[in-house]
Every structure is written in structure tokens, then in C-alpha cells.
């Protein structure tokens, strides 16, 4: 039976303490939300979550990549293709963008389960990632948070088998964002909850429970989308779920992560699930979509992932509301970043393996690894004797560093480092770090990040990040 | 086997315009100032007849050779443009010297110039035409040896500050320098950081400027002036990219090490510290000056700190470096800098350097290093054959 073979998540380390929005100082342990930083967006978070999900799995086995997001910046041009390249997936991977609704995440999961169930694909990687913004100091700002979750969907030894899936469609104007707008709108909240959220969720959950042949009491946890904490109680009561069955929806820590919200909560539920547990997951948006899963013995064999827990615990609270505005590009700028054409499309095309895939070349005469690819080997001078060599999943070592106050960025300085990885030398920026964290010879891992917005579009490369303890 | 150029070519005239933020001076103004001063220095009064070819160096302009022809009204003759980062000026000088040494021309003009202050930004511009290798600022590139060198040899920002203090002092002694202001070690240490460990005073003063030199065959030099100086060596070297080279150790810059080896071979120098009397080297950043002491083989690797403390490289020290204030205070119009060094070294060898004169200087070396860095140019001039 089709199901989830692996899961992973990403929650940005940067947090906005909610008190800063109101102009009050941040308190330790006070409510906060996760914020994609200056160099992050829904695509970089998708790559991070996917990397987490693929820990211990062969990327060559991935037949499809479904990316669910409402916040990828380009209306025309696929995000999934960028993610697939960054993950160095096979060329014949089927890439799909699912968008337009907060239900995009669960729609992508459903599509993947169906593709696998029908035998059209063996393994589909589903990544849900969202980075929505409420207007500065507006009603939604404190409620929305950023994050991503990923699932490897397949038939081979799933850790959670799907028991049922039930979707309902409802047409009402609850949340929306017009083309070209940066901020999400919401109609009056009681209307959204009473006419939209509550009836749709009840219908979807009842449908999924009924199709699964179980009763509400048979489920250990329910991972439920909710616009705010108090809205979920009525739904659970009507469906027959007790409060202790509710998966913590992380308000005050993550925030409502849009199309990635339910997927993130499902990952959190799987992180504590044991073989035999049954889980419900339901998303909302233009209707609702609920699933029932049964956890299998295979869950004990899944290699440890960073997941929701690992990311939530690693925090970098912002010190001021100003730095939040800067990190999201909401501060006024003297010059428009998108004033020029940006990168040459042809150069970007030729450099795609290096820039997006972070793939170098290994000389098969002498073994020297080069980044970027070069035709004549630095060491043995043999010509064109190379094979692709992926560096994105390797650890590097810091050889030197500098703190550059000149480069325009949200919060200078930019930490520029020289790293050595598999014998190749790579100059990158260090993210997730302050200058005091930079040390000679420290180990780093590589993360996919947005470097700048030349041409008015996101331009990506890899950065280094200090290696985390544990996974 | 490469040959050498020793004593085949002479410098018979040098000139430089006033360096600085020349808001009201155009490139034409500066080129004409420098070239006509060099003509006068060489006793040339019919340059359109006497100059047979021109070799130019500039990094910023895109007009090519026509700009020089128009400025100097030299038409119907070969004019070449070199543009290769900060060693541009030395490379233009090298092409001029080689052209004379080849026997193709008797007398040529070398002009280096640049006018970065027309770009609307202070300091270098930042590139957004790529995603890799950023931030690609010169300060970032040249600071990459600092962390490792500091840790290995126990040097620090205070040692760099002393170099800035020295070059600020020397700049006060050079009439055409951009900055004429003494600073203290505290000034340097307290300045805002540009790219660690470089504060503002660790960085060269980007300026406008032009410099020129007239070269001729050694056997014709006496017809221009008696105290001509001879080209002992001129070379450039291109190294591995320090950010790609799998063997790079971040303790010194390879371009200088390569170029110095060839320059000393040409000039027959075996003990550079003893045999060279004055040096103009490429202090784009104070750390570059520190590393260049060692990369040129003047002192042991790791010993710069002691020599900085004891004043080895000050005017009046054993081997004065950057007697005119260097890039730090004379200014750094990229393409002009190598030729400006030829100008200063020629004045030093001819005893015309005024209050900054190094006593009885017989051999002078000039040095440019540029790119990330990957290229170095070195020229050695001598008073006597």
C-alpha cells in the first residue's frame, strides 16, 4: 500500500518575537514566529526540507518531485525544476508545481499517493514550503510563520500507510493574494472560521475517518490546520476527537505556515509516533482535505532527521523589528535591486550544475576534485578527464574568513569564507552565524540559499552553515 | 629559456599629474599633464615626431587607444591598451620596454591612467552579474590571508596599523599625493571596518590620476639626459586563483613569489634585501604590504611583525618602502599606479625625491599585484650599468 517512506522538515532559525511587532522588548520564552531570513525563500526552505527527508535514501530513486507553495516568486517558470536541480535529482524526474491554495501541500501529497498507487512512479518526493507575509503590523503578521516539510511517498516499506483521503471544495473569499501583491489578505476572521474553516474541516475529517473504516477514537494524533488556536476546538468536538488527540500546532513558535502548515504538523506527529499508531492530518483552504494514516514497524528503522523538533530548538531571535523588516526586504532602499536585467540566462544555464546543483568535477586520472568544473586538472594537468562530483551533501572545513561590511545585505557584515571540501576549494558565504562564530578549521555543511535579487528575481547559490551537533 | 632585458632600455623622462579626487579634471587633462611633464623631463619638444609608439594602461575606460591618440594628438602610430587589474601599469611599462628592446622602436611613451571617481560610488562597485564568489570586493579578496597568517605568526591589526601610519607619513612628503595627513595607530585601529581585518585606514585611497614615462634604447639615452636610469628587469606572472588552488596555504601571495623569482633572475639579484635600496610596492591594503615584504623574499616568512616594529621599511630605515605614501596616500588610480611607481623610483634613483629621498639609492623595485589576486608585475630600475 502507498504511504510515506520518509519525512523531513525545515524551519528557519530566525524568529521574530511577537512583542517586537508591538514595540515591546522581547521576553525569553515569549511567543514568536519563524521567519525566512534575507537569504531564504520558499525554494531554499524546500531544498532544506528535502535534504532532511532524503537522509539515508538514494536520490537516484526519486521519480517525481511535487513542490507545493503559494509563495514562489515567479508566475511563469517552475520552482520544482530549481529544487530538483539543487537536489541533483535524475534528469527524467517528473517535476510539478502545486499552487494557488493553502491546500497545495496536501493536494501534492494526495497526487503523489495516487501516482504511486497507480504504478506511475515508484518514489515521489513531495515538498511543501511557504513563506507568506502579512502586511507590517497588520492583523496577519503575527499569525503567519515560514517553514517547509517533505515526504518521500512510495510503496516500499512505508513508515505510514495511507488509509484514506477525503477532500471537499468550498468557494468563499477567506484568504487571498492578488498577482504581484506581497501581503496576504483575510476577510473578517469570524466569517472565515464559521462559514469556511469549521464546516469544511468537519466534512473532510468525517469523510476520511469513515473511509478508513476506523472511528475517531482509533487515532492517536490529529495534525490539523487552524487559523488560530481557538478555532479548532469546535471541529474536534463535532468529529469526536478529544483534546489530547490534537497534535500541538506550534502557535507561538512557528506560526501558520500556509501550504506547509499541515505537512509540518504531520512530520511532527510522525516524529513521536510508534508502530501501530493511527494519525489524522487535515488541511484547510478553499475547502479542506483530510487523510488517515497507519504507522508501521518501519518507522523504527528511519534514520534520525533534523525534522520539526531539531529545527524548532535551533533559534536566532531577531533583536529588533527593524532587522525583521530588513531581513524581509520591507525597508525602503535607495536603489532598486531589480533595476537591471540580472544574470545572463545563458551563463546561468551553462553554470547550472555548479550554481544550482553545487556539483564540481573529479579528475579520474588523479582524483583531484575541482569546483567549479575545469577542463584541465589543477594537479595532474590531464585534459577533460573528469566526472561530476556532488559537493552539496559533503562537509567542508574553513580555511580562512573575512567579514565584509561593503556587500549590500540585510545585516552586514557578510561572512565570506574559504572552504575545503573533498580537496576542492570553494569560496562561499557563511550563514546562520555571527562573525564570532567563524573559526579556522571549523566544519561546515552547505545549504541552498538566495544570494541576491538582481533582475528582480531570486538568484540562488549555496552557502556554508556551521555543522550542527547531532543530526 | 626566457631572456632578460637588463640594461637594454632606459627611462629618460617621467611625469605624473596631481593625484586625488579630481572632480574638475578629465581623463584628457590628466593624460596630457602626465605625458607633457614626461616629455619635458626627457627634453622632448616634438612628441608627435619623436614618440614612435605609445603603450597605455587603464582599467575603467572603454574607449581604447583612440582616447590617448586624441588627447596627445599622436596619429598614424601604434598605440596599445593594457587592462589587467592592478598590475596594468607595470604591464604597460613592460610592453613599452620590450618594444624598445626588440629594436622595433627607438623611443616610446608609456602612460597609465584611471578615473574611478567618475563612477558615482566611493570604493569598488559590487558585482551582481553572478551568484558565486560574492562578495567580490578587493578588500574581501586581499583579507583572505589575514586569519590564517595572524594565527600562524601571531601578528594582528596593530601591525597593519603601523604600516598605515608609515604610509600616511610618507604621503605628506610627496607633492602630488592625494592625502597629506598624519594618522596614529589608534586612528587606524578605531576606524570603521571595511572587510575584517581591514578598517578604513588599511585600504588604499581610490583616486584619479595619470603617470607617464619615456623609454628609449640604452645607447640613445644620453642624448636625452645624463642621469637616465636603466631597466634591470621587468616581468609579470600569473598565478593559480587563490580561491581555487587546492594547495594554497593563505600565508602569502603566489603571484608576487613567482614574479620576484623571474625579476631577480633578470637583474642578477641574489640577496634582494641587501641589493635593493628602495621599493614601491602594492599596498592596496596594509596586509598586502606586510605579505609582500615576505613574498619578495626581503625577510623571512612570518618575521614582518618584527621589521614593522623596528622601522626597517621606513624612510631612514634599512630598506625604505613606499616612499611617496604608496597606494595608501598617494592614491590608487588603478592603471596609473604601476607607472606612478616608475615615476617615484626614477626620482629616487636620480636624487630628485626631495624630503623623502633615500640616500644614494642605486637599485629600485616596483611591484603591483592584482585580481583576487592572481597577477603580479615587477620592474627593477638601476642607476648604473
CA–centroid distance for B169 within its chain: 18
What pLDDT does residue A338 have? 54
Residue in chain B lying closest to A428 (CA): B133
The whole domain housing B23 covers 9-119+207-223
Interchain contact, B130 vs A370, CB within 8 Å:
no
What pLDDT does residue B136 have? 86
Q: What is the pLDDT of residues A250-295, one digit of tens each?
A: 999 999 999 999 999 999 999 999 999 999 999 999 999 999 999 9
Kindly state whether residue B36 falls inside one of the protein's structural domains. yes
Interchain contact, A425 vs B243, CB within 8 Å:
yes
**Which residue out of A43, A405, A433 would a mutagenesis test of the B interface target, given it has the greatest number of B Cβ atoms within 10 Å?**
A405
A425 Cα to chain B: minimum distance (Å): 5
Residue in chain A lying closest to B147 (CA): A400
- Each residue's pLDDT, cut to its tens digit, for chain B (385 residues) gives 889 999 999 999 999 999 999 999 999 999 999 999 999 999 999 999 999 999 999 999 988 999 999 999 999 999 999 999 999 999 999 999 999 999 999 999 999 999 999 988 776 666 778 899 888 889 999 999 999 999 999 999 999 999 999 999 999 999 999 999 999 999 999 999 999 999 999 999 899 999 999 999 999 999 999 999 999 999 999 999 999 999 999 999 999 999 999 999 999 999 999 999 999 999 999 999 999 999 999 999 999 999 999 999 999 999 999 999 999 999 999 999 999 999 999 999 999 999 999 999 999 999 999 999 999 999 999 998 8
ipTM for the predicted complex: 0.91
B294 Cα to chain A: minimum distance (Å): 19
Q: Which positions 179-208 of B are in contact with A (Cβ < 8 Å)? A: 192-197
Kindly state whether residue B265 falls inside one of the protein's structural domains. no
**Which residue out of B130, B142, B250 would a mutagenesis test of the A interface target, given it has the greatest number of A Cβ atoms within 10 Å?**
B130
CA dihedral B314, B320, B324, B325 (to 10 degrees): -40
Task: State the CATH number of the domain containing residue B217.
Answer: 3.40.47.10
Q: How far apart are the first and last CA of chain B?
A: 23
In Å, what is the CA distance from A209 to each residue of A162, A287, B38?
A: 12, 17, 93
Contacts with B133 from chain A: Cβ below 8 Å: 427
Kindly state whether residue B25 falls inside one of the protein's structural domains. yes
Residue in chain B lying closest to A422 (CA): B246
d(CA B126, CA B134): 9
* Residue range(s) in chain A whose domain bears CATH number 3.40.47.10: 3-327
Q: How many domains does chain B have?
A: 1
CA–centroid distance for A130 within its chain: 7
Of A421 and A343, the structure prediction assigns the larger pLDDT to A421
Sign of CA dihedral A136, A139, A142, A146: negative
Q: What is the pLDDT of residues A67-110, one digit of tens each?
A: 999 999 888 999 999 999 999 999 999 999 999 999 999 999 99
Interchain contact, B131 vs A372, CB within 8 Å:
no
d(CA A302, CA B95): 67
Range with the poorest average pLDDT among A112-121, A447-456, B175-184: A447-456
Average pLDDT estimate for A224-237: 92
In 3D, which of A288, A292, A252, A260 has the Cα closest to residue A7? A260
* A354, A416, A459 ranked by CB distance to B140: nearest: A416
Interchain contact, B145 vs A400, CB within 8 Å:
yes
Interchain contact, B131 vs A347, CB within 8 Å:
no
Interchain contact, B123 vs A424, CB within 8 Å:
no
What pLDDT does residue A337 have? 59
What pLDDT does residue A343 have? 83
Kindly state whether residue B113 falls inside one of the protein's structural domains. yes
Kindly state whether residue B290 falls inside one of the protein's structural domains. no
**A334, exposed or middle or buried, with CB in 10 Å at 0-12, 13-18, 19+?**
exposed
Q: How confident is the model at residue A468 (pLDDT cuts 50, 70, 90)?
A: confident
What pLDDT does residue B326 have? 98
Provide the annotated active-site residues of B. 86, 332
* B131, B146, B195 ranked by CB distance to A405: nearest: B195
Q: Characterize B20-59 residue by residue with b for buried, 16 or more Cβ atoms within 10 angstroms of its Cβ, and e for exposed.
A: bebeebebebbbbbbbbbbbebbebeebeebbbbbbbbbb
B204 Cα to chain A: minimum distance (Å): 15
B119 Cα to chain A: minimum distance (Å): 15
The structural architecture, per CATH, of the domain A3-327 is: 3-Layer(aba) Sandwich (3.40)
Q: How confident is the model at residue A228 (pLDDT cuts 50, 70, 90)?
A: confident
Kindly state whether residue B173 falls inside one of the protein's structural domains. no
Kindly state whether residue B292 falls inside one of the protein's structural domains. no
Average pLDDT estimate for A301-324: 95
Amino acid at each position: 500500500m502507498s504511504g510515506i517512506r520518509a519525512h523531513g522538515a525545515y524551519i528557519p532559525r530566525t524568529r521574530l518575537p511577537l512583542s517586537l511587532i508591538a514595540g515591546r522588548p522581547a521576553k525569553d520564552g515569549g511567543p514568536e514566529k519563524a521567519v525566512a531570513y534575507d537569504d531564504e525563500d520558499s525554494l531554499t526552505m524546500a531544498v532544506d526540507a528535502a535534504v532532511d527527508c532524503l537522509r539515508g535514501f538514494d536520490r537516484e530513486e526519486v521519480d517525481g518531485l511535487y513542490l507545493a507553495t503559494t509563495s514562489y516568486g515567479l508566475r511563469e517558470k517552475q520552482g520544482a525544476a530549481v529544487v530538483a536541480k539543487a537536489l541533483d535529482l535524475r534528469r527524467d524526474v517528473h517535476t510539478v508545481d502545486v499552487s494557488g491554495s493553502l491546500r497545495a501541500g496536501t493536494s501534492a501529497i494526495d497526487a503523489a499517493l495516487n501516482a504511486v498507487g497507480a504504478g506511475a512512479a515508484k518514489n515521489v518526493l513531495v515538498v511543501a514550503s511557504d513563506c507568506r507575509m502579512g502586511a507590517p503590523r497588520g492583523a496577519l503578521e503575527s499569525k503567519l510563520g515560514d517553514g517547509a516539510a517533505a515526504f518521500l511517498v512510495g510503496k516500499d516499506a512505508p513508515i505510514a500507510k495511507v488509509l484514506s483521503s477525503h477532500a471537499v471544495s468550498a468557494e468563499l473569499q477567506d484568504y487571498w493574494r492578488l498577482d504581484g501583491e506581497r501581503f496576504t489578505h483575510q476577510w473578517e476572521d469570524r466569517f472565515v472560521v464559521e462559514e469556511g474553516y469549521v464546516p469544511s474541516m468537519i466534512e473532510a475529517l468525517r469523510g476520511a475517518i469513515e473511509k478508513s473504516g476506523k472511528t475517531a477514537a482509533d487515532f492517536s494524533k490529529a495534525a490539523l490546520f487552524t487559523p488560530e488556536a481557538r478555532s479548532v476546538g469546535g471541529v474536534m468536538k463535532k468529529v469526536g476527537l478529544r483534546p489530547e488527540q490534537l497534535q500541538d500546532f506550534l502557535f507561538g513558535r512557528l506560526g501558520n505556515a500556509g501550504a506547509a502548515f499541515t505537512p509540518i504538523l504531520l512530520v511532527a506527529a510522525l516524529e513521536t509516533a510508534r508502530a501501530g499508531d493511527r494519525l489524522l492530518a487535515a488541511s484547510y483552504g478553499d475547502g479542506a482535505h483530510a487523510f488517515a494514516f497507519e504507522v508501521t514497524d518501519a518507522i523504527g528503522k528511519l534514520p534520525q532527521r533534523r525534522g520539526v523538533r531539531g529545527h524548532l530548538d535551533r533559534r536566532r531571535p531577531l533583536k529588533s523589528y527593524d532587522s525583521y523588516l530588513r531581513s524581509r526586504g520591507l525597508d525602503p532602499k535607495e536603489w532598486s535591486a531589480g533595476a537591471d536585467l540580472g544574470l545572463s540566462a545563458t551563463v546561468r544555464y551553462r553554470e547550472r550544475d555548479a550554481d544550482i546543483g553545487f556539483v564540481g568535477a573529479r579528475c579520474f586520472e588523479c582524483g583531484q576534485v575541482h569546483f567549479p568544473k575545469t577542463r584541465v586538472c589543477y594537479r595532474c594537468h590531464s585534459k577533460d578527464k573528469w566526472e561530476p562530483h556532488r559537493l552539496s551533501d559533503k562537509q567542508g572545513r574553513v580555511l580562512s574568513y573575512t567579514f565584509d561590511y561593503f556587500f549590500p545585505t540585510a545585516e552586514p557584515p557578510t561572512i565570506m569564507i574559504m572552504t575545503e571540501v573533498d580537496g576542492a576549494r570553494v569560496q562561499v558565504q557563511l550563514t546562520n552565524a555571527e562573525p564570532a562564530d567563524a573559526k579556522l578549521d571549523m566544519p561546515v555543511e552547505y545549504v541552498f540559499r538566495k544570494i541576491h535579487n538582481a533582475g528582480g528575481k531570486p538568484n540562488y547559490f549555496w552557502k556554508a552553515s556551521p555543522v550542527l551537533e547531532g543530526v | 629559456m626566457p631572456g632578460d632585458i637588463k640594461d637594454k632600455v632606459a627611462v629618460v623622462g617621467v611625469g605624473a599629474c596631481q593625484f586625488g579626487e579630481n572632480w574638475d579634471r578629465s581623463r584628457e587633462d590628466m593624460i596630457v599633464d602626465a605625458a607633457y611633464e614626461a616629455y619635458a623631463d626627457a627634453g622632448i619638444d616634438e612628441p608627435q615626431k619623436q614618440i614612435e609608439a605609445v603603450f597605455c594602461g587603464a582599467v575603467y575606460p572603454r574607449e581604447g587607444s583612440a582616447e590617448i591618440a586624441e588627447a596627445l594628438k599622436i596619429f598614424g602610430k601604434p598605440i596599445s591598451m593594457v587592462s589587467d587589474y592592478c598590475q596594468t601599469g607595470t604591464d604597460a611599462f613592460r610592453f613599452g620596454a620590450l618594444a624598445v628592446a626588440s629594436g622595433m622602436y627607438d623611443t616610446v611613451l608609456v602612460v597609465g591612467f584611471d578615473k574611478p571617481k567618475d563612477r558615482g560610488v566611493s570604493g569598488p562597485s559590487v558585482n551582481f552579474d553572478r551568484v558565486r564568489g560574492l562578495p567580490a570586493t578587493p578588500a574581501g579578496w586581499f583579507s583572505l590571508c589575514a586569519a590564517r597568517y595572524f594565527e600562524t605568526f601571531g601578528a594582528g591589526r596593530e601591525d597593519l596599523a603601523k604600516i598605515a601610519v608609515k604610509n600616511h607619513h610618507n604621503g605628506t612628503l610627496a607633492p602630488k599625493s592625494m592625502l597629506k595627513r598624519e594618522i596614529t595607530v589608534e586612528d587606524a585601529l578605531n576606524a570603521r571596518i571595511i572587510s575584517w581585518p581591514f578598517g578604513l585606514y588599511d585600504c588604499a585611497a581610490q583616486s584619479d590620476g595619470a603617470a607617464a614615462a619615456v623609454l628609449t634604447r640604452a645607447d640613445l639615452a644620453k642624448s636625452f639626459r645624463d642621469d637616465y636610469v636603466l631597466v634591470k628587469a621587468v616581468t609579470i606572472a600569473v598565478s593559480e586563483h587563490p580561491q581555487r588552488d587546492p594547495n594554497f596555504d593563505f600565508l602569502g601571495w603566489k603571484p608576487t613569489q613567482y614574479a620576484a623569482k623571474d625579476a631577480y633572475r633578470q637583474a642578477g639579484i641574489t640577496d634582494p634585501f641587501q641589493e635593493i635600496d628602495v621599493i614601491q610596492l602594492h599596498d592596496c591594503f596594509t596586509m598586502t604590504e606586510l605579505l609582500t615584504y615576505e613574498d619578495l623574499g626581503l625577510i623571512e616568512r612570518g618575521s614582518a611583525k618584527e621589521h614593522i616594529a623596528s622601522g626597517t621599511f621606513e624612510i631612514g630605515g634599512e630598506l625604505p618602502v613606499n616612499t611617496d605614501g604608496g597606494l595608501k596616500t598617494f592614491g590608487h588610480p588603478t592603471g596609473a599606479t604601476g607607472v606612478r611607481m616608475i615615476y617615484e623610483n626614477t626620482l629616487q634613483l636620480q636624487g630628485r625625491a626631495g624630503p623623502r629621498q633615500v640616500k644614494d639609492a642605486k637599485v629600485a623595485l616596483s611591484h603591483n599585484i592584482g585580481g583576487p589576486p592572481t597577477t603580479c608585475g615587477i620592474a627593477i630600475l638601476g642607476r648604473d650599468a
